[in-house]
């Protein structure tokens, strides 16, 4: 691609700075005066297929099958090396770099966990780039007619970094993937990957940054867009259903306003949301945003979203933004059967990683330190998700299923329905279920009911049972896929509850988890069987005195609390949880 002189000049100005220091996630002071020149110069660049797709498209969800992971090799090489080490076990890793031999030497060095076993599944792509933040400027995966042709979709990048902005063209060309781009008026759209998440079924989430940057105050937009026009572009180019592009107010202390710093879709039904201590930092606005989502929108199956809360760790001194970096576990990435997660300090990592393992059974959850000396990438308001970009497979087999809920039913079989599609057509589908994963799964054929819907049922089970299940499907061309993607090592599950016990049991909330225990201060409490009533949670010391009230009021929907007792004296405490229905206790040791 021929780059106009003005953009070439920008490249020269930024290149040395980027390679020596690493351009920050936020706009640097050196870049501010480059914005007008960048905006004007890039308008004439031929970027992609002319015009929008003339057919229905679907944007891939992050938990779907991927063929490649893209990174740019610049700052934070120790973190990048760890990403490569784990990601290449799942897919091709494309390392965009200036000097492949130098990168290979680093990968084979003793640094950052030692040399890689081999360089299999790694592709070195010599190409220009300005920064490490490929999540924001990398192209999104879209499919024609849900599961047909693989394509990529590029937006206008909201930084005056011309090599970053055109890298999607280079990658698409190298892989032979068609590229569409919302980069020319009247279809111009400014957007960033860190401020976008999608359920693969037509629902997407962003902060209002996308409206601000495309509106009258935008610095990078070629033409001003209304909120309705933004929605229309997302529908036409990405298949986001009208009325299903959910946008939230930006947070006061999140300087980049990207939702991947505090939220994550774990599947079509589940939101992973960061939690600050009550009333602290961005906590109040984050809670308002969450209430706005759950109070006004249902998931793609027409039901309330499930919410999993995960703590936002403070600094070593206990500070939160704006007086500390924006530490988060939500900035993780799915790479097929592996999830790479930023970590910070063991005290909080133990909680965060355990919540992810409980929420994503069967996945390999791998922590990568993002808060350690020279690898302190979190100080740049970014982590693992921000520096990686996945590309979906060319031959997807789509399985979409509403998970079964806990039930009191012990006589009628449990109906299982799934939406299953492949471009070659479907040959068969099976439902696998068990009440004991150590004994294996029983297969039950699923029947095609038309319109991509397949159905079967799990036999009724006695009260007290836990049922585990997954779906396996085979396409006419032989392609096989399971859902969850990690099955049979991972699965969906539901409990068969006892109606008699539920009706007559006066007991209140039950403590089902307490970790880490012992603790240096931060720990997680998991509770069950709460009924939405006010709950009093406290610590009682050895003398019987109530040493600290940890919670008063209704519990979060997932029954988790994240107290910090670092200021309490060391010793043994009794955790007490009580409501009008009863009480439960557990011991915890403060080191």
> Which of these, 186, 108, 181, lies nearest to 140 by C-alpha position?
181
Do 388 and 402 reside in the same domain of the chain? Answer: no
Q: What is the pLDDT of residue 3?
A: 46
pLDDT for position 113: 87
pLDDT digits (tens, 9 = 90+) for 521-548: 999 999 987 767 789 999 998 888 899 9
Whether the pLDDT of residue 17 is over 50: the answer is no
Residues 6+ away with beta carbon under 8 Å from 446? 416, 418, 428, 429, 430, 431, 454, 455, 456, 471
The tens digit of pLDDT for each residue in 130-140 reads 999 999 999 99
Cis peptide before 103 (omega within 30 of 0): no
Query: For a pLDDT cut of 90, what percent of the chain falls above it?
Result: 80
Tell me the DSSP string of 469-516. EEEEEEETTS-EEEESTTTTTS-EEEEB--HHHHHH-----EEEEEES
Distances, alpha carbon 207 to alpha carbons 194, 258, 466, in Å: 10, 7, 38
Same-domain check for residues 354 and 409: no
pLDDT in tens, 191-222: 999 999 999 999 999 999 999 999 999 999 88
Q: Which of 374, 392, 410 is the last residue of a domain?
A: 392
Do 261 and 364 belong to one domain?
A: yes
CB 227 within 8 A of CB 238: no
Quote the pLDDT of residue 18.
Answer: 44
Q: According to the 3-state scheme, what is the secondary structure of 225-265? A: CCHHHHHHHHHHHHCCCCCCEEEECCCCCCCCCCHHHCEEE
- 200 within 8 A of 400, measured Cβ to Cβ: yes
**Integer Rg of the chain from CA:** 25
Range of the domain at 427: 398-500
CATH code of the domain containing 138: 3.75.10.10
Average of per-residue pLDDT values in the chain:
92
Residue range 470-494: mean pLDDT, rounded: 98
Report DSSP state, residue 129: -
Same domain, 451 and 491: yes
CA distance 513 to 524: 8
* Beta carbons of 389 and 137 less than 8 angstroms apart: no
Q: Is the pLDDT of residue 13 over 70?
A: no
Contact 502, 538 (CB under 8 A): no
Domain end residue (candidates: 500, 534, 567): 500
* Nearest alpha carbon to residue 399 among 304, 468, 474: 474
Segment 361-409, tens digit of pLDDT:
999 999 999 997 667 899 999 999 999 999 999 999 999 999 999 999 9
* CATH at 481: 2.60.40.650
* 387 φ/ψ sector (left φ>0, alpha ψ -120 to 50, else beta): alpha
In terms of Cα–Cα distance, which of 396, 404, 439 is closest to 420? 396
DSSP string, 363-419: SEEEEEE-SSGGG-GGGGT--TGGG-EEEE-SS--EEEEPPPPPB--SSS-EEEEEE
Give the pLDDT band of residue 54 (cuts 50, 70, 90): very high
Alpha helices in 261-314 (DSSP H): 283-296
Position 144 pLDDT exceeds 80: yes
Q: Please say if the pLDDT value at position 32 is more than 70.
A: yes
User: What does DSSP say about strands 140-144 and 150-154: parallel, antiparallel, or unpaired?
Assistant: antiparallel
| Residue 12 pLDDT > 70 | no
H-helix or E-strand containing 41? helix 35-42
Are 363 and 404 within one domain? no
Q: Tell me, yes or no, whether 417 and 444 share the same domain.
A: yes
Residue 111 has pLDDT above 50, yes or no: yes
CATH code of the domain containing 510: 2.60.40.1930
Checking if the pLDDT of 585 tops 80, the result is yes
In a shared domain, residues 424 and 409: yes
Beta bridge partners of 577: 537, 584
Question: Mean pLDDT lowest for which of 18-22, 437-441, 478-482?
Answer: 18-22
Average pLDDT (31-36) is 89
- Quickly state the pLDDT bin for 29 (edges 50, 70, 90): confident
**Last residue of one domain, picked from the residues 365, 392, 419:** 392
Which distant-in-sequence residues (6+ apart) come within 8 Å of 106 by Cβ?
77, 81
Answer whether residue 504 shows pLDDT above 60.
no
Regarding whether 164 and 261 lie in a shared domain, the answer is yes
Based on the fold, state whether residues 317 and 403 are members of the same structural domain.
no
Residues 482 and 519 grouped into a single domain: no
Confidence (pLDDT) at 47? 62
Confidence class for position 238, pLDDT limits 50, 70, 90: very high
Assign 4 a pLDDT band (cuts: 50, 70, 90): very low
My answer on whether 345 and 272 are in the same domain is: yes
Total of domains in the chain: 3
Question: What CA–CA distance (Å, rounded) separates 485 from 46?
Answer: 38
Distance CA 315, CA 521 (A): 13
pLDDT in tens, 151-193: 999 999 999 999 999 999 999 999 999 999 998 889 999 999 9
Q: In this predicted structure, what is the pLDDT of residue 19?
A: 43
Separation of alpha carbons 397 and 429, rounded Å = 12
Rounded-to-integer distance, Cα 61 and Cα 413, Å: 31
CB 468 within 8 A of CB 435: yes
The pLDDT confidence band at residue 500, using thresholds 50, 70 and 90, is low
Residue 11's pLDDT is what?
52
How much is the average pLDDT of 420-431? 98
pLDDT category of residue 150 using cuts at 50, 70 and 90: very high
One domain for residues 282 and 150: yes
For 427-464, write each residue's pLDDT tens digit: 999 999 999 999 999 999 999 999 999 999 999 999 99
Residue 510, pLDDT > 80, answer: yes
């Amino acid at each position: 691609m021929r780059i106009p002189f003005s953009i070439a000049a920008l490249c020269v100005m930024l290149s040395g700075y980027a390679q020596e220091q690493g351009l920050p996630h936020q706009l640097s002071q050196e870049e501010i005066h480059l914005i007008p020149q960048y905006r004007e110069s890039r308008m004439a660049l031929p970027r992609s297929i002319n015009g929008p797709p003339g057919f229905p498209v679907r944007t891939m969800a992050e938990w779907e099958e991927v063929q490649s992971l893209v990174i740019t090799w610049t700052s934070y090489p120790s973190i990048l090396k760890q990403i490569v080490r784990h990601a290449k076990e799942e897919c091709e890793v494309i390392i965009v770099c200036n000097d492949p031999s130098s990168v290979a030497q680093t990968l084979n060095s003793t640094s950052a966990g030692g040399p890689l076993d081999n360089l299999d599944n790694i592709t070195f792509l010599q190409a220009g780039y300005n920064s490490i933040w490929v999540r924001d400027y990398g192209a999104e995966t879209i499919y024609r007619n849900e599961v047909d042709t693989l394509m990529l979709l590029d937006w206008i990048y909201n930084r005056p970094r011309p090599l970053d902005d055109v890298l999607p063209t280079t990658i698409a060309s190298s892989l032979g993937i068609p590229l569409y781009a919302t980069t020319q008026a009247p279809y111009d759209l400014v957007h960033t990957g860190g401020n976008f998440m999608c359920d693969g079924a037509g629902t997407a989430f962003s902060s209002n940054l996308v409206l601000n940057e495309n509106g009258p105050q935008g610095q990078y937009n070629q033409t001003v867009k209304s909120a309705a026009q933004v929605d229309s572009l997302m529908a036409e180019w990405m298949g986001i259903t009208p009325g299903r592009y959910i946008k939230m107010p930006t947070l006061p202390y999140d300087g980049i306003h990207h939702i991947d710093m505090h939220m994550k879709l774990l599947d079509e039904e589940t939101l992973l949301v960061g939690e600050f201590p009550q009333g602290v930092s961005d906590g109040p606005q984050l809670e308002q945003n969450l209430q706005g989502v759950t109070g006004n929108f249902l998931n793609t199956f027409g039901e309330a979203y499930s919410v999993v809360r995960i703590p936002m760790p403070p600094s070593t001194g206990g500070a939160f933004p704006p007086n500390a970096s924006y530490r988060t576990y939500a900035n993780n990435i799915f790479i097929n059967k592996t999830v790479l997660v930023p970590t910070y300090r063991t005290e909080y990592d133990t909680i965060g990683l355990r919540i992810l393992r409980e929420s994503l059974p069967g996945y390999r959850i791998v922590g990568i330190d993002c808060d350690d000396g020279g690898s302190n990438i979190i100080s740049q308001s970014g982590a693992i998700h921000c520096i990686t970009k996945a590309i979906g497979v060319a031959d997807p087999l789509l399985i979409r299923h509403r998970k079964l809920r806990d039930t009191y039913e012990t006589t009628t079989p449990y109906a299982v329905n799934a939406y299953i599609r492949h471009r070659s057509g479907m040959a068969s589908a099976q439902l696998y279920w068990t009440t004991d994963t150590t004994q294996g799964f029983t297969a039950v054929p699923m029947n095609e009911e038309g319109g991509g819907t397949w159905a079967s049922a799990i036999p009724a089970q006695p009260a007290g049972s836990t049922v585990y299940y997954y779906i396996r499907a085979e396409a006419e061309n032989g392609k096989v896929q399971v859902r969850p993607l990690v099955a049979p090592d991972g699965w969906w599950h539901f409990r068969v509850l006892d109606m008699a016990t539920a009706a007559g049991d006066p007991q209140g909330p039950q403590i089902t988890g307490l970790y880490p225990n012992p603790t240096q201060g931060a720990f997680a409490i998991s509770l069950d069987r709460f009924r939405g009533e006010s709950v009093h949670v406290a610590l009682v010391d050895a003398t019987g005195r109530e040493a600290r009230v940890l919670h008063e009021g209704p519990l979060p929907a997932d029954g988790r609390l994240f107290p910090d007792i670092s200021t309490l004296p060391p010793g043994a405490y009794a955790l007490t949880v009580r409501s009008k229905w009863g009480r439960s206790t557990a011991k915890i040791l403060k080191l």
